[in-house]
Structure 1
């Protein structure tokens, strides 16, 4: 398969300036480079976990050099089976998947048809998407690692093919990757036009200048907003309604930095140039205004540390009930106290005691 084969491939690495994000080159040009130096040979054996194997693998090199792509082969098989089960979808599946010779072109076709409008024609958009995706080895890696992240972590993801055809979180993320490449090339108006269409069609607003790693899950994705100078590490899971925003009209570096393996619950708001540590978990509905330590669990408005997580990457386990004991204790405290003047202090004392108890038992 011509789309993934490259006999001139070689290894490349560089360090990130962010202390909370593992030292690894972001997928697309955070250092101003094209991403073409990405070690694509090392991608395939990590489909299962969405992280790079630090050592070259001979078996891996054999099948990547031969053009073998297990995810694309699986997608084609899924599409054939679905076409047999649902003949009414056969034309759709043929046009979207089976008529293409690689994942890159199929994804370009799907994105172009979802984002077209009367002035941005599907044929024009497909040329843009395919030219960027096919020729950027970093993006070719990312679209696969992101796809595996959706398949592994989202129980609603029925198959690889359903992700590229229907899951707007996945599609918006890949459209961002193309827009980011265009932005780094100086084609900022076109990148902004793509951002605008993604926001209109999918309800997800990712600034093309933001830097996002690999193995990312945008679960549902509705209402996600990621600002211009935001940085997101690898293997991060983000649920609906999350905002990575600034705090005013300041310019410069003004958006959050999210460490590898972090889990951001639904409707989390993180504001300002603050750092969410590696493997941290932010509970749903939290407002985060200060740095969050690595592998900690924060909740509340404003968010405070309420414990620590055992998982290296809570984004992979997607255990959203990790704070249920804490919140149950808070609910009991409110229910068992009376709403009078003297009771205000009682509530506060009981809540603090339950917080301490919850953290102690975790």
Structure 2
């Protein structure tokens, strides 16, 4: 009997030791797999945009560049542009080549803080519902920490440039506000989509997207208010044609003329010029790297136009294979020839991205 009890006790000890050592394994049988042990997800499917015939209106459209105008007409346009209020000097410092290439977060914060009114505007803007911060930030440094340098710099540039281009005619305020909303939205879309499809240097894309609206705002001062109001709901290509008929060049090229008059860096002006050129430029006319950046930036800007104006209520119409309209034809050809951009057809339907953009629209 004693021997039996001893053997029974020994067996109980062995079982207890085994259970203690294997407890983690036992629990894992009933717990969901962790990220470390879950099987890796399969490759995301590629959904190619729908091929369609080039629209006649796009075949007939020819974008006019500034150098094609007679010198006296360029001089007259430049004179009118220079009569517009000039942004504060901080805008040019923030957009200088050296500052964009190498400035640290501390240097950016110091530059913004050197203009007290600018610091106040930047903090008011980044604390708005549009940026969705979990809690308000009390300093420019904190804003950079939570939102990143590119976002805060784009906010500062907009705060400096947009007031200088506000129209004198109150009837144009709604159009101006649409451009301002689209500028904010395009900057955020550039950051979100560049990250999702793996396009580097989103900072340059954000800057070019924001500055691409300079011409659209300045165009409000170049045309008769009635003409701008009539074109307010027109698509990008038709509006561009009417602008060329009235002024000689479209808004995108007018913005480049203004940036040159402001002595902006040549590289930035050229980036801005290339955005709107995508409307008439197939992929084969650009190097692969430039084609990806310019096509994605153009896509973000045109989608932002539609969403900010209320032409589109959500992202469904922006999914690449759902795009319609002549202004998107060559963007589609870029999507079909570039695997990174083709991936947008999948990414644009992910719940996280849809929710993020819907939050931006609600704000």
Say yes or no: TM over 0.5: no
Higher helix residue share: 2
User: By percentage of residues, which structure has more strand?
Assistant: 1
Larger radius of gyration: 2
